[in-house]
Structure formats: C-alpha cells, structure tokens
Amino acid sequence: MPEPTSIPEHEQEREHERDGRAVWDTDALPEGDEKVRAVREMFDTIAPRYDMVNRIMTLRLDVRWRRRAVRDLRLPSGSRVLDLASGTGDLCVDLTRAGHRPISIDLSFGMLAADRSGAPLVQADILRLPVPDGAVDGVTCGFALRNLVELPAFFDELGRVVRSGGRIALLDVGVPRNRVVRWGNGIYFGKVVPRIGGWLSDPAAYRYLPKSVAYLPEPPEMLGLLRSAGFVDVEHRPLSGGITQLLTGTRG
Ligand SMILES: C[S@@+](CC[C@H](N)C(=O)[O-])C[C@H]1O[C@@H](n2cnc3c(N)ncnc32)[C@H](O)[C@@H]1O
C-alpha cells in the first residue's frame, strides 16, 4: 500500500494563495465552494492566536455573550448540545460548566486542534451534519452565521437534527440601531480591529471580518427563516447595544 504523502511546503503555500495573496485577501468576498475553502484556510491560519485576539478586540465582552447564549438555551442539565462552528471550543467550555454534554464541530482542523474544552471533536461542514434526525437536545453556534454559504440551508439542518422541544442559541455580530453606537462600532470594526488583528495575527483575515457582516440578513428575515425551518418562540436579542445579536428558538 502506498505511504500517505504530505503536500510539500511550497505547494501548501500555493493552496491558499492566489497571485501571492491569501484567497481571503480580496475586496470582493469569495462565493460558493471558494468561500468555504477560503473560510477554512483563513481560520486554520489565525487559529493559534484566535482566542487572544478575540479577548483583546471585544474587551472580554465575548465571554459574557457566550455565557448569555448558554443561559438562554434554558435546557436541563445533562442535555446533548452540538456547538457548531465551535472554533477553539469556548462555548463548549461554558456548556460543560452548565452541566451539558457538548460536541464540538468545526470545518477548520487548525481551530479544532486548538480546542481545549475536552468535548468530543468532529471535523465537518455544519451545512451537512453527520448526525441523525432529532438526535440532539440543543445547538449553539457562535459568530459563524456570516461565514456560511447558505443560511436557509443551515437553519433547515438545525431543524433536522434538533428534537422536538429542543433549543437553539445562535450568536453573531450585529448592526447597532442607535446611529451614534453604529458609527462608533463601524469605526472600531472597520479601522481599529483590522489594525489590532494585523499586528497580532493575520492582517487579511482581520480585514475580512468587517466585510463579512454584510452577509447577514436583517433580524426579521432571519427569524422568518428559523420559523420556516420548524422553530417556534423565535426571538432576536441585541446584546451590548446591538454590536452582537442572539437568536433563540424552540424546535416545534
Ligand atoms: C469566528 S469563528 C467562531 C468560533 C467560536 N464559535 C467562537 O465563538 O469563538 C468561526 C468558526 O466557524 C467555522 N466555520 C465557518 N464555516 C463553517 C462551516 N461551513 N462548517 C463548519 N465550521 C465552519 C470556522 O472554521 C471558525 O472556526
């Protein structure tokens, strides 16, 4: 049997570069399969410093947002919860602390390799979950909706795997309603975050972040999509003045 071969280093470099630039280093965001590949390779690249940059960029508010998401799941202790696009496993840590049994699922091997939550790790595309119908009590997902190619397909997949009466809590960045807060947030995400991210990690990845917000539909549209996917009691809550948003719902 032939030995498994690894890609030579110079070839690996070519895999995520085009014309000497990272595939996510572009003004026009990639679409379709190219977006999936760009997102995976981008997170592989920033994984080693992801947690540190996150804490600095959000002044540790991200810790509070994740705890709020776990609380708003309102599931009994011992529940089986999938944390989708789990990254380095921060939500899995909070889920375990709350007495749940999380499973960490992400596309990026680099992010999973940095996961210290102790939860079982699965490398998969969350648009096609390797999970039977109605098999889980709940789902959390932190700051990944805007990276997905097809949000309606993702919500349908949640409707498929969550049991009747199960709960979901989905976090992502938001657009504040207040004009002054929105202006300040725009400056912060558009100018300051790319600088901090550039100094501490990968400049192109942290230039992508403010652009990726454009992919999220307005809250009423997302709530409508969740209802169409079979969820009831769907709610949208702006957190910290709306710079982050939390979507929750119960599987009907
Ligand atoms: C901004 S990070 C968030 C990580 C973590 N949930 C958190 O709260 O810090 C986004 C994560 O989504 C993952 N991701 C993006 N698209 C994905 C997909 N289609 N399937 C699985 N994971 C995906 C990335 O690999 C990355 O780890």
**In the chain, where the domains are located:** 1-252
* Structure token pair of residue 230: 């079979």
Mean pLDDT on 99-117: 96
Mean pLDDT on 118-138: 97
C-alpha to C-alpha distance for 104 and 123, rounded to whole angstroms: 8
Pocket of ligand 1, candidates 82, 126, 157: which has the most ligand atoms within 8 Å of its Cβ, to mutate?
126
Mean pLDDT on 59-85: 96
User: What band does 85 get if pLDDT is binned at 50, 70 and 90?
Assistant: very high
CA of 40 to the centre of ligand 1 (A): 8
Residue 16 has pLDDT above 70, yes or no: no
Percent of the chain with pLDDT over 90: 62
CATH numeric code, 1-252: 3.40.50.150
> Who lines ligand 1 at CB under 6 A?
36, 39-40, 43, 85-87, 90-91, 106-108, 111, 125-127, 142-144, 147-148
C-alpha to C-alpha distance for 26 and 207, rounded to whole angstroms: 9
Q: Which atom of ligand 1 is nearest to the CA of 141?
A: 6
Maximal CA-CA distance, the chain? 64
Alpha helices per DSSP H over the chain: 9-15, 32-46, 50-58, 61-73, 90-97, 109-113, 151-161, 179-187, 193-200, 203-212, 219-228
Mean pLDDT on 74-81: 98
